[in-house]
Structure 1
Amino acid sequence: MENTPGILYIVATPIGNLNDISFRALETLNKCDLIACEDTRHTKRLCQHHDIRTPLQAYHQHNEHQAGQKLIDRLNCGEHIALVSDAGTPLISDPGYVVVQLAHQAGIQVSPIPGPSALISLLSVAGLDTSSIQFEGFLPNKSSQRLSALKQLLPCQSTLVIYESSHRILACLNDISNIAGSDHLMAMGRELTKTFETIYHGSIDQVLTQLTDNPVQQKGEFVIAISATKPTVNESVPLIAQKLALTLMPLLPPKIVSKIVGSHHDCNKKQVYQFILDQQASE
């Protein structure tokens, strides 16, 4: 008889505070046959803290393809495997894509065990509009490449979220300031859930000043959220929009015409509606 394939669990683990882990995650890590992790030394500390004795195996960006296939072979033999990253939710700017893709191709069940995420943790306290977000992970290391990337990303009509390390945080914030403007609103989390957690909120210049004045605050891991830039809406009705409105007026109700014209020409639909009423009154 053929073995029924095991399940690949994608398990979120703490981003700092070791107690930020769900009962379900602990249960999964305990019952699996193997835990695949970025750094066995790092995950070992978590396991020791929660008395988890499941064997560990390294799975990181340098051995993804070779190690990934070996994990698939074990899953096909009926073993259950938990995939974890060093911190947070796997595959979010972390290794795991290869083995998850292989699992899907092999018809192996992949099951998420949700939990901590630096991205979501910052957004929950950022005080920014999160109705639409754009996540870019880590930007390029070199300033010239980072500036080029930022020019393509900003202005952004969604809240833009990126990760950054202590080695580049000042340079990165300066580059963001150069592109978005020093008075642009942002939020930033440093060492989230850890002893020296700090949440920054204000203009880019204000946050830069706090870090520059206190070099200690330049240490740690950072999550940056840059507020969305809403599209400019013309308060008056430009001539080209007036022409479209006049063309559509005999065909559609005023409210429909104002909505179409306002959307098409990026102008205030209330102003368009008033223009239509004025035209009708003058006839």
Structure 2
Amino acid sequence: MSQKGKLYLIPTTLGDNEPLEVLPLSVKKVVESLDYFIVENQKTARRFIKRITPKKSQPSLVLRSIDKYAEALEVSTYLDVCEQGISVGLLSEAGVPAIADPGAEVVKLAHEKNIQVVPLVGPSSIVLAMMASGMNGQSFTFNGYLPIDSSVRKKTIKQLEKLSLDKNQSQIFIETPYRNEKMLTDLKSTLAPTTRLCIATDITLSSEYIKTLTINDWKNENPNLHKRPTIFIIHKS
């Protein structure tokens, strides 16, 4: 019986920088060795593969999508090739696969099929922001996106602030980039003056901006966050 193929979790860049500036050589070597990939967006995946392995044959690539249009039944067959000894690469749109990313369902499937999962080292905006925040790295929670409705969002912000105080736990969340500035406005008007807020924007890019201040001090700061990928972290103590 032939050995099963593996599922490699392949990190990508967080923006338009050279892949080998932020990714180890091991990622390049794995991408070079694979022809079958599961991706969020085929166009950007092909661009990334070409940038990290310029000599790789593009026509030989087989890309399967896990975007919002992909049918669950179809996705459930994506790892069938592993039974033939073919290894598969899972690519995120940005950063690491399966963290705030639909690739988690593919990883779950791999475990169910007894396929070896191999995570590769790469940039996670969530972890990098936490590292740079000066907040409690011993206990933190990623909360994903907060509610869109303003009144519900403000209520959620207060709940996270209380949770932070009760558990001494940093609370991390994100927002759709074009709504970042509205989020900052709500944070300034909702959180207590002494609560600390870290804003981490364009992480790993030349335009990177990371700052932690109290809400009272943030009221004098208005960074341009419009359409820039941003991580927010709050901690009340």
> TM-score, normalised on structure 2?
0.85
The farther-off stretch of 140-149 and 127-136 is: 140-149
Q: Which of the numbers 16, 22, 34 marks the counterpart of 1:20? A: 22
Spell out the pairing of 1:213-252 with structure 2 (5 A cutoff). 216-227=224-235, 229-230=236-237
1:101 aligns with 2:83: no
2: CA distance, partners of 1:77 / 1:148: 51
Q: Is residue 90 of structure 1 aligned with residue 97 of structure 2?
A: yes
Q: Determine if contact 2:188/2:219 at 8 Å carries over to the other structure.
A: no
Contact kept, 8 Å, 1:64 with 1:95, in 2: the verdict is no
1:199/1:135 Cα in 2 relative to 1: closer, same or farther (>3 Å)? Answer: same
Contact 1:38 1:58 in 2 (8 A): yes
Higher relative contact order (CA 8 A, sep 6+): 2
- Is the 2:79–2:88 contact (alpha carbons within 8 Å) kept by the matching residues of 1? no
Residue in structure 1 matched with residue 213 of structure 2 by the alignment: 202
Q: Which residue does 2:4 correspond to in 1?
A: 5
Q: Determine the structure 2 residue equivalent to 1:38.
A: 40
Tell me the amino acid that sits aligned with residue 39 of structure 1.
Answer: N
1:112 aligns to 2:82 (yes or no): no
SS of the residue corresponding to residue 178 of structure 2 reads coil
Change (3 A) 1:102 1:85: same
Instruction: Give 3-state SS (helix, strand or coil) of 1:125's partner.
Output: helix
Deviates more, 1:101-110 or 1:172-181: 172-181
Map of 2:51 onto structure 1: 49
CA RMSD of aligned residues (A): 2.1
2:133 is matched with which residue?
Answer: 126
Cα deviation for residue 198 of structure 1 reads 1.2
**CA shift in 2, pair 1:125/1:207, >3 Å:** same
The residue that corresponds to 1:189 in the other structure is 200
Deviations 1:215-242 (A, max 9, x none): x443311011112x34xxxxxxxxxxxx
1-side partners of 2:38 and 2:209: how far apart? Answer: 31
**Any stretches of 5+ residues in structure 1 without a counterpart?**
231-283
Task: Give the residue type in structure 1 aligned to 2:136.
Answer: D
Question: Structure 2 vs 1, CA of residues 200 and 67 (structure 1 numbering), >3 Å: closer, same or farther?
Answer: farther
Report the secondary structure of 2:231's partner residue.
Answer: strand
Does the Cα contact within 8 Å between 1:64 and 1:99 map onto a contact in 2?
no
Contact 2:198 2:210 in 1 (8 A): yes
Is 1:147 the counterpart of 2:158 in the alignment?
Answer: no
Q: Report the AA paired with residue 12 of structure 1.
A: P
The verdict on how the C-alpha distance between 1:139 and 1:53 changes in structure 2, with shifts beyond 3 A counting, is: farther
Structure with a larger share of its residues in helix: 1
Cα–Cα, structure 1 residues 166 and 143, in superposed 2: closer, same or farther, change >3 Å? same
Q: Cα deviations across residues 183-234 of structure 1 (Å, max 9, x unaligned)?
A: 42111111111232111221235435432xx6x443311011112x34xxxx
- The Cα shift of 1:150 comes to 2.3
Task: Give every structure 1 segment of 4 or more consecutive aligned residues whose post-TM-superposition deviation is greater than 3 Å.
Answer: 205-209
Aligned to 1:180: 191
> How far apart are the structure 2 equivalents of 1:117 and 1:137?
14
**Equivalent-residue separation in structure 1 for 2:4 and 2:233 (angstroms):** 41
Work out the number of aligned pairs and report it. 225
Partner residue in 1 for 2:88: 81
Report the CA distance shift for 1:67/1:197 in structure 2 as closer, same or farther (over 3 A). Answer: farther
Deviations 1:98-126 (A, max 9, x none): 22111111111111112110011112222
Per-residue Cα deviation, 1:128-162 (whole angstroms, up to 9, x for no partner) = 23221111122122223322322332221211111
Q: Give me the whole-angstrom Cα distance separating, in 2, the residues matched to 1:49 and 1:208.
A: 41
Q: Which residue number in structure 2 is paired with residue 163 of structure 1?
A: 174
